[in-house]
């Protein structure tokens, strides 16, 4: 039946007639949309081809929220009936227990000053914020030289529960946002402590005695004082070494491994062996391997040349 309307919804309207229900909604149009859906759900079990349309109420023009709307429901007439629909006017109502959701604004006080209202400044400061401020002030005070109070404990700081307990023990002390933003908070029995935006004057004062820009006696910058450095040790002018030429710089590299530079492959000639053997009274000579080697002479020559060069290089470097 009638459930308590939550305070997070600004409007409501009655549900299906005689159902004893209410529909909570975020806007008047939301109210009438839900009401139309509820009507369609109820009638769809008895009629077919049901449709509905929503339009502003022509009888009650909208001047301010919540506006009223008209629902036009149509369906196919039942056998033996001429009823093909109905018209429903919905007048949403403002929820008197509605509490607007808090909004978040970030920036400096100058940035958000226009959005701050007197009602906002009259709200009490959250316990968590007061705990953070107290902990920060405690840290700053404990780090100053000469502080002889309770050392700050990072493992046992002031908590929101501590602030709540202090509030309950001292109901007269209720810091508000206005205390934090506009004035200096103070206990009820203490006067307000004004804080000047410029507490230290910077007005220049005339020192006494006035320094004399023309000292007397006037120092004489033309007095050339000679400094005796002792007898001349007779050390001549230092001589610079001759700058090496490009050939002198490259000579150690060009003369590197003279034996390797003069190395040349010795001439060598050889002949492929062609063995001969007798089988069943016939003399057979094996020369296929020689023909194959001769056909690939250039490749074999190149491979062996590289091989002998590598062997020769290792011999020279090992020496």
Give 110 or 79, the one with higher predicted confidence: 79
The pLDDT of residue 33 is 92
The pLDDT value recorded for residue 197 is 44
Residue 1: the pLDDT is: 37
In this prediction, residue 30 has a pLDDT band, given cuts at 50, 70 and 90, of very high
Tokens of 300: 């074999």
Indicate if the pLDDT at residue 74 is higher than 60: yes
Tens-place pLDDT, residues 118-157: 777 888 888 898 899 899 999 999 999 989 888 888 888 9
- Predicted confidence band at 303 (pLDDT cuts at 50, 70, 90)? very high
**C-alpha separations of 116 from 8, 121, 137 in Å:** 22, 7, 26
Res 298 pLDDT > 80? yes
Question: pLDDT tens-digit profile of 170-227?
Answer: 888 888 888 777 655 555 555 554 444 444 444 444 555 555 656 555 555 555 667 7
Closest CA to 69 of 30, 39, 106: 30
Higher pLDDT, 251 or 225: 251
What's residue 258's pLDDT?
Answer: 66
Determine how β-strand 48-56 pairs with β-strand 282-285.
unpaired
Least confident of 192-206, 269-283, 298-312: 192-206
How is residue 85 written in tokens?
Answer: 């629909």
Beta partners for residue 56, in sequence order: 69
pTM above 0.85, yes or no: no
Report the pLDDT averaged over residues 95-101: 82
Per residue, the 3-state secondary structure of the chain, as one string, reads CCCCCCCCCCEEEECCCCCCCEEEECCHHHHHHHHHHHHHHHHCCCCEEEEEEEEECCCCCCCCCCCCEEEEEEEECCCCCCCCEEEEEECCEECCCCCCCCCCCCCCHHHHHHHCCHHHHCCECCHHHHHHHHHHHHHHHHHCCCCCCCCCCCCCCCCHHHHHHHHHHCCCCCCEHHHHHCCCCCCCCCCCCCCCCCCCCCCCCCCCCCCCCCCCCCCCCCCCCCCCCCCCCCCCCCCCCCCCCHHHHHHHHHCCCHHHHCCCCCCCCCCCCCCEEEECCEEEECCHHHHHHHHCHHHHHHHHHHHHHHHHHHHHHHC
**Max Cα distance, the chain (Å):** 142
pLDDT value, residue 212: 60
Query: Percent of the chain, pLDDT > 90?
Result: 8
Domain segments of the chain as ranges: 11-94, 112-181
List, for residues 31-73, the tens digit of each pLDDT value.
899 988 888 888 887 888 888 899 988 888 888 888 899 999 8
Across the chain, mean pLDDT equals: 78
What is residue 118's predicted lDDT score, i.e. its pLDDT?
Answer: 79
Give residue 315's pLDDT band: very low, low, confident or very high (50, 70, 90).
confident
Q: What is the token pair recorded at 233?
A: 């040790």
């Amino acid at each position: 039946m009638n459930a308590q309307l939550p305070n997070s919804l600004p409007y409501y309207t009655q549900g299906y007639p005689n159902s004893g229900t209410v529909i909570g909604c975020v806007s008047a149009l939301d109210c009438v949309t839900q009401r139309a859906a509820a009507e369609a759900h109820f009638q769809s079990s008895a009629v077919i081809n049901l449709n509905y349309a929503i339009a502003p109420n022509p009888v009650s023009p909208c001047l301010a929220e919540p506006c009223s709307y008209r629902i036009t429901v149509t369906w196919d007439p039942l056998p033996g009936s001429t009823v093909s629909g109905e018209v429903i006017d919905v007048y949403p109502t403002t929820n008197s227990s509605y509490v607007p959701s808090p909004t978040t604004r970030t920036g400096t006080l100058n940035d958000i000053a226009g959005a701050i209202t007197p009602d906002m400044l009259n709200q009490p400061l959250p316990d968590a914020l007061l705990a953070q401020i107290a902990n920060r002030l405690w840290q700053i005070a404990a780090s100053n030289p000469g502080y002889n109070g309770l050392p700050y404990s990072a493992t046992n700081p002031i908590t929101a529960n501590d602030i709540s307990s202090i509030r309950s023990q001292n109901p007269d002390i209720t810091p508000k946002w206005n205390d934090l933003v506009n004035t200096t908070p103070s206990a009820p029995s203490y006067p307000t402590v004004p804080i000047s935006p410029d507490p230290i004057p910077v007005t220049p004062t005339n020192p006494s005695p006035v320094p004399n820009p023309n000292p007397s006696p006037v120092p004489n910058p033309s007095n050339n004082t000679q400094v005796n450095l002792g007898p001349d040790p007779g050390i001549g002018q230092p001589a610079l070494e001759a700058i090496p030429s490009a050939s002198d710089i490259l000579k150690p590299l060009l003369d590197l491994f003279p034996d390797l530079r003069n190395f040349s492959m010795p001439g060598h000639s050889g002949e492929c062996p062609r063995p001969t053997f007798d089988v069943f009274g016939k003399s057979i000579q094996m020369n296929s391997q020689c023909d194959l080697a001769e056909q690939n002479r250039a490749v074999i020559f190149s491979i062996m040349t590289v091989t002998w060069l590598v062997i020769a290089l290792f011999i020279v470097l090992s020496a």
